[in-house]
Amino acid sequence: MDCTIDRRATFSASHRYWLPELNEAENRKLFGAGANFPGHGHNYVLYISIAGAIDNYGMVENLSTIKKVIKREVTSHLDYAYLNDAWPEFQQTLPTTENIARVIWQRLAPHLPLVNIQLYEHPELRADYAGNNMEATLTVKTHFSAAHRLALPELTLEQNSEIYGKCARVNGHGHNYHLEISVIGEIDARTGMIVDLGDLQNLVDELVVEPFDHTFLNKDIPYFASVVPTAENIALHIAQLLQEPVVRLGVELDKVKLIESPNNSCEIYCRKGSVKTQTKFNTALLAR
């Protein structure tokens, strides 16, 4: 039976999105503010996932060894570096979040039994890479505030309260919802991007955040006039809203995660047109 462990590392670095074969107007159209000279910086947070059998010492891999390998192969090169010049790989393909994750995998794979590289450029943007050639996953985070009531119209208040607890109260209640949208696609060999990040963020804002924010979901969103707006159903509807528009951006919707509260989250897995739901409750259903 294999076990997966994660090792966290950090580095601070700068980069610039600029292709010398394009003129300034073309670069700015493609990369926006990312094309500004001389570049911009981030405090990157890196998670290295390693899998294997637990040995006689109770470890998958010696943590001291993992730490030394990450420092030798990655952070000693990238910390306080200008990424465009740090590694030859970034001369060919720009150091976007997704491409940095891919190249880190390539650097570490000969030394560690990797299963995933996760790189946060900042708390609202991360990339995952699992060794699948040029395929990577990009995740953007956002939020909206909304109210809802959980109740089936054909049931009495007492019956709904048996099912939904306090969530069935007639005047509803609200949440600050946190939303993660993950898309998967091929890293462009020159730009380093799987999708135009601005286009993706605009799409999520247009189709989800703006229509949902500061609403009473049951009354203001037509879909929920006949569907109970549980976290699961909200996440499913968001996935349905985004699935086809995301394809038109050239990527595929991979996952929608909706965090309703610190105790309750839901994930919808969307690849290949199949939708699977996974709900996580850290407390009882009545603690929604």
Pairing between β-strand 81-82 and β-strand 2-15 as defined by DSSP bridges: parallel
CB 223 within 8 A of CB 52: no
Give the Cα separation of 246 and 173 in Å (integer). 31
214 is catalytic: yes
Give the Cα separation of 233 and 97 in Å (integer). 31
Dihedral angle of Cα 232, 234, 239, 241, to the nearest 10 degrees = 160
From 167, 237, 266, 270, the catalytic residue:
167
Contacts of 277 by beta carbon, 8 Å cutoff, 6+ apart: 232, 235, 236, 266, 267, 268, 269
Instruction: Give the helix/strand (H/E) hosting 103.
Output: helix 97-108
Contacts of 100 by beta carbon, 8 Å cutoff, 6+ apart: 44, 83, 119, 127
* Residue type, position 102, single letter: R
Q: Which residue has the tokens 């949902």?
A: 212
Integer Rg of the chain from CA: 22
Burial class (CB in 10 A: 0-12, 13-18, 19+), 137: buried
260 is catalytic: yes
270 is catalytic: no
Give the Cα separation of 119 and 184 in Å (integer). 15
From 73, 260, 266, 270, the catalytic residue:
260
Residue positions annotated with a catalytic role: 167, 214, 260
